[in-house]
């Protein structure tokens, strides 16, 4: 169910951006990419895990760099990083111990991220 909800919400966010014209600005998907990994910091803070906060902050920094590169240089970086974060969500728990991450989060966040990355890729192909 978490994967289905993630896909549906990804569709809603993508259609919202498309219908409002927000996605015509290169910043739309890069901003989404910058926000998504910060939830892991929130989960770490909620669990009171300083180590998880530090690790999640470092990982977030990597995705922020990718969001900036996607915004300033080439939006394909943003599409790839969104999808990459989605794949990362499914394996996150194997590499980083973050006791605050809800059980449903990997499926939900992974599916919405992959959907958003794929949707952006389709837009980039159609708009080129």
pLDDT for 91-128, tens place per residue? 988 888 999 999 999 999 999 999 999 999 999 999 88
pTM value? Answer: 0.92
Confidence of residue 90 (pLDDT cuts 50, 70, 90): very high
Q: How many residues does this entry show for the chain?
A: 128
Q: How many domains does the chain have?
A: 1
Enclosing domain of residue 115: 2-127
**Distance (Å, whole) CA 106 – CA 92:** 8
Contacts of 118 (CB under 8 A, 6+ apart): 79, 83
| Helices within 1-128 (DSSP H only) | 2-20, 27-35, 38-47, 50-72, 75-95, 105-127
pLDDT for 30-70, tens place per residue? 999 999 999 999 999 999 999 999 999 999 999 999 999 99
């Amino acid at each position: 169910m978490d994967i289905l909800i993630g896909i549906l919400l990804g569709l809603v966010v993508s259609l919202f951006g498309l219908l409002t014209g927000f996605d015509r600005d290169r910043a739309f998907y890069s901003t989404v990419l910058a926000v998504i990994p910060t939830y892991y910091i929130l989960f770490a803070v909620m669990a009171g895990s300083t180590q998880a906060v530090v690790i999640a902050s470092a990982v977030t920094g990597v995705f922020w760099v990718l969001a900036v590169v996607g915004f300033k240089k080439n939006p394909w970086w943003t599409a790839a990083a969104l999808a990459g974060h989605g794949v990362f969500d499914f394996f996150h728990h194997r590499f980083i111990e973050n006791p605050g991450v809800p059980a449903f989060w990997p499926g939900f966040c992974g599916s919405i991220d992959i959907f958003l990355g794929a949707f952006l890729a389709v837009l980039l192909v159609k708009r080129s």
